[in-house]
Amino acid sequence: MVKSGGSKTSRHLGWAWASPGLIFLTLFAAIPVLSMLFMSVLTAGRFGGVTTPINFDNFSRATDPIFVKVIINSLLIASATAILSLLIGFPTALFISRLSRKWQVILIVAIILPYWTNFLVRTYAWLVLLNNEGIINKFLRNIGLIDKPIEMLYTPAAVIVGMTYLYLPLMILPIYAALEKVDKNLTEAAFDLGSSAWKSLRTISIPLAMPGILIGFIFVFVPSLGNFVVPELLGGGKTVMIGNLVRDQFLKARDWPFGATFALILALILVVLISIQSYVSKRVNVNA
């Protein structure tokens, strides 16, 4: 690595590159989102919107056991989703990254193609496959393996599988992008030098994939926390996520400040995750 810090000119040059984009994000992301988050200390208007006075009641309201339970529950489900995605996404990305550039592109496209069919349609397809009168149960019944349908739908497991399905590319693509830069000669050399497959994985592939893994984990974890369609369709409305709380408070209770409070909680979880991510990936970069 070069000396850290960089020269003054390269810093100025950096600002020149980044400024237009940063201004765009400030106008259309930071200001709108922060103003939404600030609402958490305001009072709900009777018909949506917000009014003064400023108060902090929402934060004590949010500690009600009902909501704490939902938050913990959705953290568990989102973690399970992210871990499952990582377990099947990492080997897939690793496999793809070892292929020739042409096959890399073909497989990446093959993985993304199903996602060009609307997500609601795809989620409905799971309903058709998994329900008690659905294709899988009918098949198993016809071949005599079961006589009562296996209840697969409307459980937290169905939610985890459905969300893994929904967000898997968000895990695979960043890991692939990180892994692909690994000099293939490096791993081959390690292998030729007698290093075991596991050892080369642990000492070379995983550390190099780490920035991608962390990003993929966040990309899957956070929208899973915020998803409310999959819990409704595949979870039968019997599993509730933070996303449901945000949606219900904004649109159903028309209590924007309280919805903003949950959004703020989500944002805080996110900040913690991103801090861990940038800390770890910096260390990885330094070690590499």
Which residues inside 106-165 make contact with another protein, applying CB under 8 A? 106-122, 124-129, 131-135, 151, 153-154, 165
Residue 45 DSSP label:
-
Residues 257-286 that bind another protein (CB under 8 A): 258-260, 263, 266-267, 270-271, 274-275, 278-279, 281, 285
Residues 24-43 that bind another protein (CB under 8 A): 24-39, 42
Cβ atoms within 10 A of the Cβ of 42, count?
18
Structure-block tokens of residue 146: 């079961």
- CB of residue 185 to another protein, shortest distance in Å: 13
Q: Which ranges of the chain would DSSP assign to H, the alpha helix?
A: 8-25, 31-38, 57-61, 65-97, 101-112, 119-130, 135-142, 156-179, 184-192, 197-200, 206-226, 229-233, 242-247, 256-287
Read off φ and ψ for residue 147, nearest 5 degrees. Answer: -115, -15
Q: How far is CA 18 from the centre of its chain?
A: 26
Query: Is the CB of 111 or the CB of 144 nearer to another protein?
Result: 111
Contacting range for another protein; rule: CB under 8 A; set: 6-14, 75-83, 139-147: 6-14
Is 66 a binding residue for another protein by CB under 8 A? The answer is: yes
Query: Is the CB of 9 or the CB of 144 nearer to another protein?
Result: 9
Contacting range for another protein; rule: CB under 8 A; set: 4-12, 75-83, 139-147: 4-12
Binding track over 164-203 against another protein, x by CB under 8 A: -x--xxx-xxx-xxx-xx------x--x-----x--x---
* Selection from 69, 29, 61, 18 nearest residue 257 by Cα: 61
Is 224 a binding residue for another protein by CB under 8 A? The answer is: no
In sequence order, the 6+-apart residues with CB closer than 8 A to the CB of 97 are 104, 176, 179, 180, 182
Contacting range for another protein; rule: CB under 8 A; set: 75-83, 139-147, 232-240: 232-240
Query: Is the CB of 55 or the CB of 117 nearer to another protein?
Result: 117
- CB of residue 145 to another protein, shortest distance in Å: 19
Structure-block tokens of residue 21: 């984009």
Residue 4 — left, alpha, or beta (φ > 0 → left; ψ -120 to 50 → alpha)? beta
Q: Which residues of 237-252 are buried (b: 16+ CB within 10 A; e: fewer)?
A: eebbbbbbbbbbbbee
The residue within the footprint of another protein, chosen from 70, 78, 80, 86 (CB under 8 A), is 70
In sequence order, the 6+-apart residues with CB closer than 8 A to the CB of 240 are 70, 73, 74, 231
Q: How many residues bind another protein (CB under 8 A)?
A: 148
Query: Is the CB of 6 or the CB of 143 nearer to another protein?
Result: 6
Structure-block tokens of residue 180: 């692909």
Contacting range for another protein; rule: CB under 8 A; set: 75-83, 139-147, 212-220: 212-220
- CB of residue 103 to another protein, shortest distance in Å: 10
Query: Is the CB of 52 or the CB of 143 nearer to another protein?
Result: 52
Rounded to whole angstroms, what are the CA distances from 4 to 1, 11, 110, 221, 286? 8, 12, 40, 32, 10
Query: Is the CB of 80 or the CB of 168 nearer to another protein?
Result: 168
Binding track over 82-101 against another protein, x by CB under 8 A: ------xx-xx-xxx-x---
